[in-house]
């Protein structure tokens, strides 16, 4: 990995927002899920939460590689997801048209925030709505009173990004250094990362030049020399 590549990676990771996330409840179309993840990466979200009746995979083509940078936590049910989010002192917002719903732009997104988006056709479940702290809506002037879930997510998340940018929240690193190092290794040295994971070895540190820093015992455990590793990643 070149120094320039490493600095680009660190510039992205240093802006990651650990207290801003989305939760997708049975959003079942893979291209929608991947499009939301792509937006999450764009606004600096580190982790997304999902609740699926069956496991879906992020669609790489739509996600444009962003699935390699955004972590995913899947929950067996919405109650478990809500417990996790509220344990992190997050305000949980749900896109739902109700008498108590407020304009999504009237929310303070500088607070720890999770935004819940429900299934494409039916929206969030009654249980999810009941557990959320606030219903939010995107004002619409047309005959159709709904947007594609990925479009709705983009609108809300960019409002959150706008507020957090003004507040200077992208200026201070939130992501723990250990996680930054792991993501830099995973995406800067993908083949070494897979080999290291397969062998169950700890991830090495990456220095400011983008080089792997590991002792001889680590390389022996990897059964590969540093020179061979550099040649492997170069091909």
Residue 5 lies in a domain: no
Confidence bin at 228 (pLDDT 50/70/90):
low
**192-216: pLDDT as tens digits:** 898 888 888 889 999 999 899 988 8
Q: Is 133 left (phi over 0), alpha (psi -120 to 50) or beta?
A: alpha
Mean pLDDT of 14-19: 94
Write out pLDDT tens, residues 68-100: 789 989 998 999 999 999 999 999 999 888 888
- Residue 158 shares a structural domain with residue 46: yes
**Same domain as 159, residue 181:** no
pLDDT at 220: 85
CATH number, residue 131: 3.40.1280.10
Q: What is the pLDDT of residue 17?
A: 96
Domain for residue 75, yes or no?
yes
Residues 33, 121, single domain; the answer is yes
Residue-wise pLDDT tens digits, 143-157: 566 778 889 999 999
Say if residue 150 is in the same domain as residue 119.
yes
Whether residue 171 is contained in a domain is answered as: no
> What pTM, to 2 d.p., does this model score?
0.84
Q: Is 78 annotated as a binding residue?
A: no
The verdict on 35 and 143 lying in the same domain is yes
H helical segments located in the chain: 3-13, 30-43, 60-63, 78-87, 126-131, 149-166, 177-188, 190-199, 216-222, 226-234
Residue 10, pLDDT score:
92
The answer to whether residue 10 sits within a structural domain is no
Q: Assess whether 90 and 37 both reside in one domain.
A: yes
Q: pLDDT tens digits, residue range 175-192?
A: 999 999 999 999 888 888
97 is in an annotated binding site: no
Is 109 inside any structural domain?
yes
3-state SS, residue 109: coil
Q: Tell whether 46 is covered by a domain.
A: yes
pLDDT number for residue 61: 47
Q: Are strands 71-75 and 134-137 parallel, antiparallel or unpaired?
A: unpaired
Q: Are residues 229 and 123 in the same domain?
A: no
The predicted pLDDT at position 117 comes to: 92
Give the residue with greater pLDDT, 58 vs 227: 227
Number of domains forming the structure of the chain: 2
Query: Would you say residue 159 lies in a domain?
Result: yes
Examine the domain organization and report whether 159 and 182 are in the same domain. no
Residues 45 and 70 in one domain: yes
Under 8 Å between Cβ of 204 and 185: yes
Residue 57 has pLDDT above 80, yes or no: no
Both 31 and 77 in one domain: the answer is yes
Q: 129 and 34, same structural domain?
A: yes
The pLDDT of residue 7 is above 70: yes
In this predicted structure, the answer to whether residue 55 has a pLDDT above a threshold of 80 is no
Q: Which of 172, 101, 169, 166 is nearest to 138 (CA)?
A: 101
Q: Per-residue pLDDT averaged across 43-54, rounded?
A: 87
State pLDDT tens for residues 95-150.
Answer: 888 888 899 999 999 999 999 998 777 777 889 899 999 999 888 877 566 778 88
Same domain, 101 and 198: no
13 annotated ligand binder: no
The parent domain of residue 225 ranges over 177-234
Q: Is residue 161 part of a domain?
A: yes
End of a domain among 166, 196, 215? Answer: 166
């Amino acid at each position: 990995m070149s120094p320039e590549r490493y600095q680009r990676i660190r510039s992205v990771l240093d802006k990651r927002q650990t207290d801003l996330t989305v939760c997708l409840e049975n959003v079942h179309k893979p291209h929608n899920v991947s499009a939301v993840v792509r937006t999450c990466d764009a606004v600096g979200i580190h982790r997304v939460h999902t609740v699926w009746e069956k496991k879906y995979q992020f669609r790489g083509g739509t996600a444009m590689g962003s699935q390699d940078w955004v972590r995913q936590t899947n929950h067996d049910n919405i109650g478990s997801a809500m417990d996790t989010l509220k344990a992190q002192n997050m305000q949980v917002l749900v896109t739902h048209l109700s008498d108590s719903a407020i304009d999504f732009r009237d929310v303070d997104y500088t607070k720890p925030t999770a935004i819940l988006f429900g299934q494409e056709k039916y929206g969030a479940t009654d249980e999810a709505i009941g557990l959320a702290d606030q219903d939010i809506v995107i004002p619409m002037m047309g005959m159709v009173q709904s947007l594609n879930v990925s479009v709705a997510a983009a609108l809300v998340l960019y409002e959150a990004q706008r507020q957090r940018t003004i507040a200077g929240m992208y200026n201070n690193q939130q992501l723990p250094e250990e996680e930054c190092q792991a993501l830099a290794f995973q995406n800067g040295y993908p083949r070494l990362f897979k080999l290291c994971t397969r062998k169950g070895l700890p991830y090495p540190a990456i220095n400011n030049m983008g080089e792997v820093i590991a002792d001889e015992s680590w390389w022996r455990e990897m059964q590969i020399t540093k020179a061979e590793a550099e040649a492997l990643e170069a091909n």
